[in-house]
Amino acid sequence: MKIAKGILVTFFFPVIFFSQAQTATSVSNLFPLIPKPVSFKASEGKFPLSNKTIIVADSSSIPDVEIFNLQLEKIYGFSLPVFLPGQHVHEDGVISVSRQTKQLIPKDGYELSVHQKLISLNGKDAGVFYGFQTLLQLIIPGMEKTDSIPCCEVKDSPRFPWRGMHLDVCRHFFSKEFIKKYIDLIALYKMNTFHWHLTDDQGWRIEIKKYPKLIETGSWRNGSMVGAYSNGQFDSIRYGGYYSQDDIREVVAYAMQRHVTIVPEIEMPGHSLAALASYPELSCTGGPFEVAKAWGVFDDVYCPKEETFQFVENVLSEVCDLFPGKYIHVGGDECAKVRWKNCEHCQKLMKEKKLKDENQLQSYFIRRLERYLHSKGKQLIGWDEILEGGLAPGVTVMSWRGTEGGIIAAKQHHDVVMTPGSHCYFDYYQGSPDYEPLGIGGYTTVEKVYSYEPVPAELSSENKKYILGAQGNVWTEYIQTPSQVEYMALPRMCALAEVLWSPKEMKKYSEFQNRLIRHFSLLDKLNVNYAKTIYELKTSVKPLENGNGISFGLTSPFTSGNIFYTMDGSDPAAESVLYTQPVSIVKSCKVKAAYFEDGQRKGNTLSQEFFVSKSTGKKIKLNIPPHENYFCNGPQSLVDGIKGDLHKHGQNWLGWWGKDMVAEIDLGKKETFSKISLDVYDGEASWIYLPVSIEILISDDGDQFSSIKKLSSEEIKKFNGAIEIQTGNQSARFVKVIAKNAGKIPDGKQGSGNDAWLFVDEISVE
Enumerate the active-site residues.
200, 271, 334
Q: What CA–CA distance (Å, rounded) separates 163 from 251? A: 19
Distance in Å, CB of 476 to ligand ACM, minimum: 12
Neighbours of 376 (CB within 10 A): 14
Q: Name which of Zn ion, ligand ACM, none residue 303 binds, using a CB cut-off of 5 to 8 Å depending on partner kind.
A: Zn ion
Q: Name which of ligand ACM, Zn ion, none residue 343 binds, using a CB cut-off of 5 to 8 Å depending on partner kind.
A: Zn ion
Percentage helix, strand, coil for the chain under 3-state DSSP, each rounded to 5? 25, 30, 45
* By CB under 5 A, residue 355 contacts Zn ion: no
Cα dihedral sign, 724-728-729-732:
negative
Q: What CA–CA distance (Å, rounded) separates 230 from 730? A: 37
Q: What CA–CA distance (Å, rounded) separates 104 from 110? A: 10
Q: Cβ closer to ligand ACM: 418 or 534? A: 418
CB 64 within 8 A of CB 169: no
Residues 342-381 that bind ligand ACM (CB under 6 A): none
Q: What CA–CA distance (Å, rounded) separates 327 from 378? A: 6
Query: Using CB under 5 A, which of 345, 411, 619, 675 touches Zn ion?
Result: 345
Q: Near Zn ion by CB under 5 A, which window of 174-182, 298-306, 357-365, 555-563?
A: 298-306
β 693-699/203-204 pair status: unpaired
Q: CB neighbours of 439 closer than 8 A, spacing ≥ 6?
A: 427, 428, 429, 433, 478, 488, 648, 650
* By CB under 6 A, residue 400 contacts ligand ACM: yes
DSSP per position, 554-619: EE-S--SSEEEEESBSPPP-TTSEEP-SPEEE-S-EEEEEEEEETTEEEEEEEEEEE---TTTT-E
Q: Is 469 left (phi over 0), alpha (psi -120 to 50) or beta?
A: left
Q: Name which of ligand ACM, Zn ion, none residue 725 binds, using a CB cut-off of 5 to 8 Å depending on partner kind.
A: none
CB 119 within 8 A of CB 96: yes
Q: Name which of Zn ion, ligand ACM, none residue 333 binds, using a CB cut-off of 5 to 8 Å depending on partner kind.
A: ligand ACM
Q: Name which of ligand ACM, Zn ion, none residue 400 binds, using a CB cut-off of 5 to 8 Å depending on partner kind.
A: ligand ACM
* By CB under 5 A, residue 343 contacts Zn ion: yes
Q: Cβ closer to Zn ion: 346 or 528? A: 346
Residues 33-72 that bind ligand ACM (CB under 6 A): none
Q: CB neighbours of 736 closer than 8 A, spacing ≥ 6?
A: 662, 663, 664, 665, 696, 697, 698, 699, 705
Distance in Å, CB of 284 to Zn ion, minimum: 3
* By CB under 6 A, residue 295 contacts ligand ACM: no
- One symbol per residue from 325 to 344: x for binding ligand ACM (CB under 6 A), - otherwise; what is it? --------xx----------
* By CB under 5 A, residue 350 contacts Zn ion: no
Q: Name which of Zn ion, ligand ACM, none residue 284 binds, using a CB cut-off of 5 to 8 Å depending on partner kind.
A: Zn ion
Q: Near Zn ion by CB under 5 A, which window of 42-50, 123-131, 261-269, 278-286?
A: 278-286
Q: Cβ closer to ligand ACM: 383 or 579? A: 383
Q: Near Zn ion by CB under 5 A, which window of 295-303, 594-602, 607-615, 669-677?
A: 295-303
Distance in Å, CB of 106 to Zn ion, minimum: 50
Q: Name which of ligand ACM, Zn ion, none residue 424 binds, using a CB cut-off of 5 to 8 Å depending on partner kind.
A: none
* By CB under 6 A, residue 673 contacts ligand ACM: no
Size of the site for ligand ACM (CB under 6 A): 4
* By CB under 5 A, residue 282 contacts Zn ion: no
Q: What CA–CA distance (Å, rounded) separates 741 from 42? A: 57
Q: Name which of ligand ACM, Zn ion, none residue 345 binds, using a CB cut-off of 5 to 8 Å depending on partner kind.
A: Zn ion
CA distances from 623 to 190, 733, 736, 737 (A): 44, 18, 10, 11
* By CB under 6 A, residue 478 contacts ligand ACM: no
Neighbours of 49 (CB within 10 A): 22
Distance in Å, CB of 368 to ligand ACM, minimum: 21
Query: Using CB under 6 A, which of 182, 383, 452, 630 touches ligand ACM?
Result: 383
Distance in Å, CB of 312 to Zn ion, minimum: 14
Q: For residue 440, give the H/E element and its range.
A: none
Q: Name which of Zn ion, ligand ACM, none residue 383 binds, using a CB cut-off of 5 to 8 Å depending on partner kind.
A: ligand ACM
Size of the site for Zn ion (CB under 5 A): 5
- Angle formed at CA 483 by CA 477 and CA 487, multiple of 5 degrees: 75
Q: Cβ closer to Zn ion: 91 or 344? A: 344
Q: Is 251 helix (H, G, I), strand (E, B) or coil?
A: helix
CA distances from 612 to 411, 592, 616, 624 (A): 48, 17, 6, 25
Cα dihedral sign, 271-273-274-276:
positive
* By CB under 6 A, residue 298 contacts ligand ACM: no
Q: What CA–CA distance (Å, rounded) separates 85 from 579? A: 62
Q: Which residues would be at the binding site for Zn ion (CB under 5 A)?
A: 284, 303, 343, 345-346
Interacting residues toward ligand ACM by CB under 6 A? 333-334, 383, 400
